[in-house]
Each structure stands twice: as structure tokens, then as C-alpha cells.
Amino acid sequence: MFKKILVGYDGSKGGRLALERAIELGQSSGASVTALWVQAPLPRYTDLPGEPEDQTEAGDSYFAKRKQEAEVMANERGGTIVCATLRGHPAKVLVSTAQSEGFDLIVMGHSDHSEMWGRLLGDTADRVSDHSHCSILIVKG
């Protein structure tokens, strides 16, 4: 069974379902669960002074709320969860984190985009499933 579960959590409806499922799997299998929120990189150049700092603060505030949600959800189910945030492209960060830290399962929510829209853009879940070394669970609502 799984020993280390990594769940991509962005606060979306699909992300919340994935978080719930990861916590349930962790509880039933005794696996550790880590919720990871990946913040997209900020633009390199901007016309407005202070804009990158404002965006960083907003991102940090958003992650703090997601962390609190994840901890409450785990506590309500009698479990624990580790929360982390990293910057970068979500698919690349999820895959590289799972590999470098020895996760054996990645849990993700399915995109809220329509089928056509998701195929044109390339869902994060599609990219992670194509490049990950470990098992992937894509939770649909």
C-alpha cells in the first residue's frame, strides 16, 4: 500500500475533493499525507513599482488560508497533514517533488475546464500523469 501521499491543493473544487480523498487514503493505509500548493512564478518585469511584492504577499495570504483548510479537514478526520508551498510550474513541481522526496502516490483534482478547453491547454493532471514516476489518482467530482 502507499506510504507517502502528495496531494496538489489549490483551493479549487477539484482540489478540495482530491484533498479529501488523500486524507481518507492516508487514514486507511497509515500513509503520511503532504498537501502542496504551487504558486506560479511572478513575471520578471513589471511597469508598476511594488507590484511583485504585492503579488507575493497575496499569494502567501492565499496559501495560509489553504493550509488552514487542509489542517482543519485532516483534524476533523482524526489525521494529520503536512502543508507546503513551492513556486514554479505546477506540473513540473509536483512531479519533481514526488520523485525527489520519495512519494509513491500523487492525488490531484480534475480540471474544471470543459473537455475541449482542457485538451487545448493541457491540464496539469494530464502532464503529471505523463511524466510522473509514481502512481497518480485523479479525483473527479
pLDDT for the residue numbered 140: 86
Q: Give the other-Cβ count within 10 Å of 129's Cβ.
A: 17
pLDDT for the residue numbered 124: 85
CATH of the domain at 123: 3.40.50.620
User: What is the full per-residue pLDDT of the chain (141 aa) written as tens digits?
Assistant: 899 999 999 898 989 999 999 999 999 999 999 999 998 776 655 565 555 666 778 878 889 999 999 999 999 998 899 999 999 999 999 999 999 999 999 999 986 655 555 554 447 888 898 999 999 999 987
Give the total number of structural domains in the chain. Answer: 1
Tell me if 71 is assigned to some domain: yes
Tell me if 67 is assigned to some domain: yes
Tell me if 48 is assigned to some domain: no
Full residue range of the structural domain in which residue 80 is found: 4-43+53-139
pLDDT for the residue numbered 40: 77
Enter the pTM of the model. Answer: 0.85
